[in-house]
Amino acid sequence: MKTRLRRTAPLVGVLASAVLLAGCGAGGRDDEGGEEGGGGGATDVGVTEDSVTVGAHFPLTGVAAPGYSEIPTGAQAYFDFVNAQGGVHGREIEYIVKDDGYNPTNTSTVTNELVLQEEIFAMVGGLGTPTHSAVVDFLRDEGVPDLFVSSGSLMWGDDPDSYPTTFGWQTDYESEGKIIGQYVAENMPDAKVGLFLQDDDFGEDAEKGVRQFLDDQIVGVERYTSGNTDVAPQITGLQASGADLVLGFTTPSYTALAKLVSLTTGFTPKWFFSNVGSDSALVGSLLERFSEGAVSGGGGALDGTMTTEYLAGVDQPDDPWVQLWQQVWEEHGEKGKLTNYRIYGMSQAYTFVQALQAAGEDLTREGLVEALQESGADFAGPHLAPYRYGEDSHLGISGMRLVELTGGSSEPLTPVLVTDIGDAPIEEDSSGQADDAPPEGGVPTE
């Protein structure tokens, strides 16, 4: 049984912007699904004796597809890798991905299809802050486990009482802002800081973290709205403010647009882009496209830029996790090469397999959520810092390290640093999580 990456067209028109990239009861059970589980039998919606069906929404086509459409291909490859070894508790993972075009209206439509028609057991990795915000209440009300949202918004994990079935995965934007802010305050205390922010929870959460350390150093703040491609007013505003260090909390297209406008205006600050918008290869290709070839693309487009990372990437081929992902991609991937976006998808899929293992043979939605709360914080894996999963928090990875990009590679500026939202301190991680290596065979075990 193969996993299925369905390229289903959205039923409502996709976004018109040329550069947007970002961040009732499930049909009931069938006659066999209502039986008490035992020995891996059918135990809940989306679960049979030999399969478990999960779903996700991603921009597979349209203007938001570059980069983001690669995430589910990575997840699919890893699920197929696991299925080839017998699945989890004898069940193979069926993976249904539907195209939302990064349009919240489409996200609602395809999520309804996944839950009510496809009868998925869980949503795994649905992408985007504005898009997933449109369906998080629906998934909660339907009791669908809503796991590892592909976004760092706080709303995926800081209030488990309101959203008991939703879990984040990547480092949240506030914690990332705190780590960046502390580094700048300690190492660049004379810098005049400008903020270039996406005008939603992404930018708001990040700014909240940054201001804990840099409030007195900030000389200018500019915000952009996704879909508005003219960022010249914002970049010239930062230039006029006298900023010599710009912290950008941007998606890749707006990283490229900011760099392009700065080249035309002669604005040459030091740049610090968040993890979301700092993939060198993608930003380079976008720069070349947006400039109509006037600016050469390539992995060095962000040379000298500072950023963060919570996973080892393709620039670290000796890392044992990257070696595993390369093997998975070679054995089960589609056309094309391994990318950081595919690594992201594989890493999320790995965590989901761990959750299935922890939930046991008698698989239920409630049991899956309980397993994550009880043991998720102890999951090993490719993430550089521990998860924060528990009854009081469903936030994901607790930290990251700061790096500088050079020639398409990253040079560490700090060890792995961990923190939490609010006034939690920032400390060097002492868990050893960053030194974890894959298990033999590449599939987690209980």
Question: Which CATH number characterizes residue 178's domain?
Answer: 3.40.50.2300
Shared domain check, 362 and 294: no
The pLDDT value recorded for residue 65 is 81
CB 95 within 8 A of CB 4: yes
Residues of the chain with pLDDT under 70: 1-41, 446
The pLDDT value recorded for residue 227 is 81
The pLDDT value recorded for residue 5 is 55
> At 255, which amino acid appears?
T
- The pair of structure tokens assigned to 73 is 């291909």
The pLDDT value recorded for residue 408 is 77
CB 250 within 8 A of CB 277: yes
Q: How many Cβ atoms sit within 10 Å of the Cβ of residue 296?
A: 11
Q: What is each CA distance from 97 to 251, 275, 281, 428, 429, in whole angstroms?
A: 22, 24, 25, 37, 35
The pLDDT value recorded for residue 97 is 98
Split into its structural domains, the chain has a count of 2
The pLDDT value recorded for residue 351 is 98
Is the pTM here over 0.85, yes or no?
yes
Shared domain check, 8 and 123: yes
Distance between CA atoms of 143 and 165, rounded to whole angstroms?
Answer: 7
Shared domain check, 108 and 124: yes
Shared domain check, 97 and 65: yes
In a domain, 255, yes or no: yes
The pLDDT value recorded for residue 72 is 98
Range of the domain at 287: 173-309
The pLDDT value recorded for residue 326 is 98
The pLDDT value recorded for residue 407 is 81
Shared domain check, 338 and 275: no
